[in-house]
């Protein structure tokens, strides 16, 4: 039992001369570059497709493969593997591995001589995107003080939409600067710059205090807490962490699957997380991200105008994310989710109605307006809360695995919707497709109302105790709030 008693005797290193605010700012800026790469690498294909179709003679099938290969199997594998790797090797090491893959696969995409090579390169890039989507929010949530956790984790979402915006801007700029069908190589390759910055930055940071504690590395856990938190908060959270880790250490050492088998309440939480993550994709936001130029071009905009309109969507995403971060300080996560799903459903109803109108400049403009409304409700209310709640929802013994399973579901849904959208829109019509999105968002709102708890303002350890009690009870399926 000496290792378990060790935390009470661990030294209190000074952590250097960097104060907690500066350290938190630095680690947030570095780690959230993973979010920027997530946004850039998923959004850049929207503009690149316009040129890839002609330069590599894409068909509808190969176009779908190019878009979805990053999502499935790429990002899906990254999400499923990134979480367990983060549990075993550490949050930091998982992100360093992702950084290496970001650099290598981005260069491979830009230099790809043909469609098969480009598809394989995007699968590898997808691994890095998927792993970052799981581990960056996890890393930030475990580093942040409870009072700042929502805003700090949301910085990752802000960087994600900035990445999307930069992708749209670079697509438009490069398209005007380079008069060649091969401009897509520059569009895809420029992401190597933030990828290198992310890799080098993560190598300079420590792992999280929760992960250090789970590996009985008490001195490092305490030192990291003291670097990231004010002294009083660091001491309080250190006590809570050690109490939970001590309780968990008294249980026999077993695999995650064995833990889940013996703890049905954790399985219920993972199911809630998967459904919540999938619901983020049924908003239809990926249609805006990947097919905005295509949708706008077919609705009546010229090619250059459609790319510039996509920049408008990117600007809107940044503005709405900042608005969401402000609202996050005033409103609970659960209420924001309900408003988000309801607003997205209403916006898809508007898109459905607009597509029934005859072709005209007004119709094209209204399509852009309602795409912006989908973006507004999704980014303001759902984008700012989805990853936060997922990073808060799961207990420490399964946190990486559960985040991976949830985000794996997200990426599968993302891939299916992205692959099927152009096919279903062509065969069934846009009215049917956007009507389907509307129904799915109504169902998502009902699910959130019944099953998503309020997590705001509570430490991860307090949430774990509460959710263990709630979901272990016979009435675990009752509504939560």
Write the CA distances from 420 to 221, 227, 430, integer angstroms.
Answer: 46, 47, 12
**Peptide linkage before 73 cis (omega within 30 of 0):** yes
Residue whose C-alpha is closest to residue 283's, from 377, 160, 393:
377
Distance CA 98, CA 134 (A): 11
Q: Report percent pLDDT > 90 for the chain.
A: 45
Q: What is the mean pLDDT of residues 75-93?
A: 93
pLDDT of 13: 43
Instruction: Report d(CA 62, CA 48) in Å as an integer.
Output: 14
User: Is residue 479 very low, low, confident or very high in pLDDT (cuts 50, 70, 90)?
Assistant: very low
Query: In which band, very low, low, confident or very high, does the pLDDT at 294 lie, cut at 50, 70 and 90?
Result: low
447 vs 355, residue with greater confidence: 447
Whole-number Å distance between alpha carbons of 50 and 36:
23
Whether the CB-CB separation of 24 and 144 falls below 8 Å is answered with yes
15 pLDDT more than 50: no
What's the predicted TM-score (pTM) here? 0.81
Number of separate helices (H) and strands (E) present in the chain: 24, 0
**How high is the pLDDT of residue 119?**
96
Is the bond preceding 169 in cis, omega lying within 30 degrees of 0? no
Q: How many Cα atoms within 13 Å fall on the side-chain side of residue 218?
A: 19
pLDDT of residue 480: 56
Report the pLDDT averaged over residues 381-401.
89
Write down the pLDDT at residue 300.
59
Q: Name the percent of the chain lying above pLDDT 70.
A: 88
> How many Cα atoms are found within 13 Å in the side-chain-facing hemisphere of 147?
8
- Residue 126 and residue 75 in contact, taking contact as beta carbons nearer than 8 Å: yes
3-state secondary structure of 208: coil
Here the tokens at position 388 are: 């936060």
**Average of per-residue pLDDT across 460-478:** 74
Residue 270: pLDDT above 90?
yes
Rounded to 10 deg, the angle between the 33-43 and 45-55 helix axes is 40
Task: For the chain, list the domains and their CATH numbers.
Answer: 21-205+258-472 (1.20.1250.20)
d(C-alpha 277, C-alpha 413), whole Å: 9
Sign of CA pseudo-dihedral 438, 444, 445, 447:
positive
Check residue 308 and give its pLDDT. Answer: 65
d(CA 342, CA 381): 10
342 to 246, 325, 326, 447: CA distances (angstroms): 43, 19, 20, 12
Among 156, 47, 150, 447, which Cα is nearest to 280's? Answer: 447
Is a pLDDT exceeding 60 seen at residue 4?
A: no
**Range of weakest confidence among 74-83, 242-251, 385-394:** 242-251
447: pLDDT confidence band, cut at 50, 70 and 90?
very high
Higher pLDDT, 305 or 255: 255
Per-residue pLDDT tens over the stretch 21-62: 999 999 999 999 999 999 999 889 878 988 998 899 888 788
When pLDDT is averaged across residues 121-132 and rounded to a whole number, the result is: 96
So what's the pLDDT on residue 425?
Answer: 74
Task: Give the pLDDT confidence of 133-153 residue by residue, as tens digits.
Answer: 999 999 999 999 888 898 899
The confidence band for 210, taking pLDDT boundaries of 50, 70 and 90, is very high
Q: Helix, strand, coil shares of the chain as percentages rounded to 5?
A: 80, 0, 20
pLDDT the model gives residue 310: 65
Q: 207 — phi, psi (to 5°)?
A: -80, 180
What number is the average pLDDT over the span 412-433?
79
- pLDDT band at residue 458, thresholds of 50, 70 and 90? confident
What is the Cα–Cα distance from 434 to 171, expressed in whole angstroms? 27
Structure tokens at 180: 């060649």
Region 421-434: mean pLDDT is 79
- What integer is the mean pLDDT of 210-220? 92
Mean pLDDT value of segment 342-366: 86
Angle ∠(402,408,409) on CA atoms, nearest 5: 100
pLDDT on residue 411: 86
What mean pLDDT is predicted for residues 329-353?
Answer: 92
The pLDDT value given to residue 475: 52
DSSP state of 455: -
Q: What is the DSSP letter of 89?
A: T
Q: Which of 398, 391, 420 is nearest to 282 (CA)?
A: 420
For 19, left (φ over 0), alpha (ψ -120 to 50), or beta? beta
Mean confidence (pLDDT) of the chain: 85
Distance (Å, whole) CA 184 – CA 171: 8
Is 80 exceeded by the pLDDT of residue 187? Answer: yes
Q: Span 247-260, mean pLDDT?
A: 73
Nearest alpha carbon to residue 170 among 185, 187, 155: 187
The pLDDT of 309-329, averaged and rounded, is 84
Q: From 132, 102, 2, 114, select the one nearest 52 (Cα to Cα).
A: 114
Residue with tokens 């995409």: 109
- Predicted confidence at residue 295, as pLDDT, reads 60
């Amino acid at each position: 039992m000496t290792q378990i008693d060790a935390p009470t005797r661990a030294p209190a290193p000074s952590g250097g001369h960097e104060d907690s605010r500066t350290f938190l700012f630095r680690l947030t800026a570095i780690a959230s570059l993973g979010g920027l790469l997530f946004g850039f690498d998923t959004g850049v294909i929207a503009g690149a497709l316009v040129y890839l179709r002609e330069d590599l003679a894409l068909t509808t099938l190969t176009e779908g493969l190019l878009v979805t290969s990053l999502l499935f199997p790429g990002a899906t594998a990254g999400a499923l593997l990134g979480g367990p790797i983060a549990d075993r090797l550490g949050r930091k090491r998982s992100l360093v591995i992702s950084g290496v893959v970001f650099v290598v696969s981005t260069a491979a995409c830009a230099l790809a001589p043909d469609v098969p090579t480009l598809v394989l390169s995007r699968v590898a890039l997808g691994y890095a995107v998927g792993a970052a989507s799981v581990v960056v929010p996890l890393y930030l949530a475990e580093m942040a003080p409870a009072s700042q956790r929502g805003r700090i984790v949301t910085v990752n979402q802000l960087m994600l939409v900035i990445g999307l915006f930069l992708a749209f801007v670079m697509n438009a700029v490069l398209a005007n600067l380079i008069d060649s069908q091969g401009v897509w190589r520059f569009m895809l390759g420029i992401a190597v710059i933030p990828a290198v910055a992310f890799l080098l930055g993560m190598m300079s940071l420590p792992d999280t205090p929760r992960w250090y504690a789970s590996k009985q590395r008490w001195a490092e856990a305490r030192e990291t807490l003291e670097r990231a938190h004010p002294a009083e908060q660091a001491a309080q959270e250190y006590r809570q962490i050690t109490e939970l880790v001590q309780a968990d250490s008294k249980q026999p050492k077993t695999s995650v699957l064995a833990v889940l088998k013996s703890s049905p309440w954790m399985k219920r939480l993972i199911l809630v997380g998967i459904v919540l993550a999938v619901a983020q994709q049924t908003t239809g936001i990926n249609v805006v991200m990947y097919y905005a130029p295509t949708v706008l071009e077919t609705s009546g905009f010229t090619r250059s105008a459609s790319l510039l309109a996509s920049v408008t969507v990117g600007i809107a995403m940044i503005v709405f994310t900042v608005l969401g971060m402000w609202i996050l300080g005033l409103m609970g996560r659960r209420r924001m989710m309900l408003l988000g799903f309801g607003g997205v459903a209403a916006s898809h109803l508007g898109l459905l109605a607009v597509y029934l109108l005859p072709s005209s400049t007004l119709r094209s403009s209204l399509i852009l307006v309602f795409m912006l409304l989908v973006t507004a409700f999704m980014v303001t209310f759902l984008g700012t809360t989805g990853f936060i709640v997922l990073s808060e929802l799961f207990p420490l013994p399964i946190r990486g695995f559960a985040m991976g399973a949830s985000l794996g579901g997200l990426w599968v849904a993302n891939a299916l919707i992205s692959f099927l959208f152009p096919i279903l829109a062509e065969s069934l019509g846009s009215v049917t497709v956007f009507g389907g999105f509307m129904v799915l968002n109504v169902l998502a709102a009902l699910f959130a109302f019944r099953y998503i708890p309020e997590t705001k303002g509570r430490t991860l350890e307090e949430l774990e105790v509460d959710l263990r009690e709630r979901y272990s009870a016979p009435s675990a399926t009752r509504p939560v709030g």
